[in-house]
Amino acid sequence: MIKISFDLGHPAHYLAFRNVLLNSDNLGFEPLIFIQEKESLKDLLIEQNLNFLIRTNKQTTLSRISLLPRDILYIRKAMKERDIVSNFGKVSIVGSWAAKH
């Protein structure tokens, strides 16, 4: 089964892709979801039993750098099979890297 990554930074991004994500089995793909940590977005995904990885959510460059090792571990975990064919959502280093490799 192919994997398609989704980079969701706001609950509206989830709502835009909700039907696709909820019907992923019927559509023949496995979603890999990266989110910006927002309670309402997390709650929506948890409510629908969708797995997701939280990407860096700090405002300052120093804070983002401090969370880089965590993001690298998430990427390594997510990319073990390296069969992601596309990325949808806002542009981020995590999502772009996932779709590229």
CATH class of 2-100: alpha beta
Q: What's the pLDDT tens digit per position in 29-79?
A: 888 888 877 778 999 999 999 998 887 655 666 666 666 676 677 667 666
In the sheet with 29-36, reading across from the earlier edge strand, the strands are 52-55, 29-36, 2-8, 84-89
Residue 90: predicted pLDDT: 57
How far apart are alpha carbons 84 and 42 in whole angstroms? 23
Residue 48: predicted pLDDT: 94
The sign one gets for the Cα dihedral 9, 10, 12, 18 is positive
Q: What's the pLDDT tens digit per position in 3-28?
A: 788 888 888 888 888 999 999 999 99
Ranges of each domain in the chain: 2-100
Angle CA 60–35–44, to nearest 5: 130
Q: Is the pLDDT of residue 95 over 90?
A: no
